[in-house]
Amino acid sequence: MKSLVFKNFIINALGILFSRILGLARDVLIALFLGAGLYSDIFFVALKMPAFFRRIFAEGAFGQSFLPNFVKARKKGAFCVSVLLQFGFVVFLFCMFVSFFASFFTKIFAFGFDEKTIALASPLVAINFWYLFFIFIVTFLGAILNYKQKFFITSFSAALFNLAIVIAAFFVDKNTPQTTLYYFSYATVLSGVAQLILHILVLWRNPVIKAMTLSIKLKRFRVKLKSFYHNFFHGVLGSSATQLSSLLDTSIASFLITGSISYLYYANRVFQLPLALFAIALTQVSFPKILKHLKSNQENLALNFMRKALGVLAIFLLLAMIIGMVFSVEISQLLFQRGNFTKEDTLITAYVLIAYLVGLLPFGLQKLLSLWLYAKFKQKIAASIAFKSLILSAFCSIALIFVIEDENLKVLAVALSSSLSAFYLLFANIKEFGLRRFFDLISWKLSVLTCLFLSLFGILLFEFKGLMIGILIEIFIKIKGIF
């Protein structure tokens, strides 16, 4: 069983890694064609809207509520059909509503935009929002795959979104940014269709899908979803708080200098790589296993699993944090500094990245610990923690903006506040998990040795940074000469 979990983690991580590499390629092209200014800000706002609701209704509240209730359901086919029909209909109507009132929703998501910018962004918001409808069905099908311990397809399918943007980039010109925005937006929606087709092909012969088909044929899919909705609505509160924090960051940045939204986006994309590769990949694999242990009244096995997962996750996240901070400028320069993305943009993005990385460890660990609350059906408590984190992040953002005098660096306040709220999330989740129970998971001797090793690693990395970069440049020149 241990080898199966490790295998699933590696498979899931590889799928996410492939997707994130393509995601970085996508962001490189966005930086090339749109830079960090008006047009990139518009695109990121248009993209953030479906992403915001996707993380609430699909990956967030839905995912956290569906799987525990699916495990408990006796008639799994009928349960799935009921959920899919009800939620699919609501999401479809919501997409229609946003399409008709795109200007209103754009103003909510970017309150600092003037009327001219709102007019440019609204049609793009209407197009991009349809991605939500397709990705909701993808998330539903992905949850069924996760229950069967099959994680690669869902983690890999996200790469299709990135691939669609990369392909669209071949048909645009950096001198026509407004046309580029429409190409990228249509590519976003088509990527949702592609992800849906992929999941349907993979699940075609799945027993759950067969059970759903049989329920539809027999017209026996009227299942009471009271427990599901109870957990879902509490999950919505928790997920919406997290996503409202992201929305609030965008709204605050829209009042700062032009390009601030883009700096947050580019830096956060780099920050999300280790978070997704280690924390998200591990939590996706861990959730079904923790659920099954607790359902079987094997809490000791669940805690033993949590102990190993927390130790491995902490080491990986700390390594990623150290490397990211030391090479923040070089990473930003390598990925984004070309075309319309200037040297000054690179430096600001690097500073924002460092501010985000401060919160990498607590963000990752709290994701794993929060699984315990969801597995114990404590979505209401998770929602309360998330909203308190939102209030703290908003307060810190506004306070730090007034403290930072340099207009170009005020955007740092937003990223740093996000990291501060991550520490609160971690401490609050530890409190609910149980302080004594949490300390029992920690090997203090190993923790001290790990801290000493990582401290030495960070010092050596910083001291020999110039030498390492010089060696890498020489290797690159020699390889380029060969080819």
* pTM, 2 dp: 0.70
Query: What is the pLDDT at residue 4?
Result: 59
Domain range summary for the chain, segments of one domain joined by +: 2-463
Q: With beta carbons less than 8 A apart as the criterion, state whether 265 and 349 touch.
A: no
From first to last of its 483 residues, the chain has per-residue pLDDT tens of 455 566 666 776 777 777 777 777 888 888 888 877 788 888 888 887 777 777 665 555 666 667 667 777 777 788 888 888 888 888 899 899 989 988 888 887 777 777 888 888 899 989 999 998 998 888 888 878 877 666 677 777 778 888 898 888 888 887 788 888 899 999 999 999 999 998 888 888 788 888 888 878 777 666 666 666 666 666 666 556 666 677 678 778 878 888 888 899 889 889 988 888 888 778 777 777 777 777 777 878 888 888 888 888 899 999 999 999 999 999 998 888 887 788 899 999 999 999 999 999 999 999 888 878 877 777 778 778 888 888 898 889 989 998 888 887 888 999 999 999 999 999 999 998 888 888 888 888 888 888 899 889 889 888 888 777 777 666 656 554 554
Query: What is the pLDDT at residue 252?
Result: 84
**How many C-beta atoms surround the C-beta of residue 288 within 10 A?**
21
Q: What single string gives the DSSP state of each residue in 302-332? A: HHHHHHHHHHHHHHHHHHHHHHHHHTHHHHH
Q: What single string gives the DSSP state of each residue in 73-96? A: -SSHHHHHHHHHHHHHHHHHHHHH
Query: What is the pLDDT at residue 483?
Result: 42
Residue with tokens 């498979």: 11
Number of H helices, E strands in the chain: 22, 0
Query: What is the pLDDT at residue 362?
Result: 94
∠ CA 208-238-232, nearest 5°, is 35
Query: What is the pLDDT at residue 402?
Result: 87
Q: What is d(CA 370, CA 373) in angstroms, rounded to the nearest whole number?
A: 5
Based on its alpha-carbon atoms, the radius of gyration of the chain, rounded to whole angstroms, reads: 23
Distances (CA, A) of 280 to 49, 283, 427: 21, 5, 19
Query: What is the pLDDT at residue 1?
Result: 44
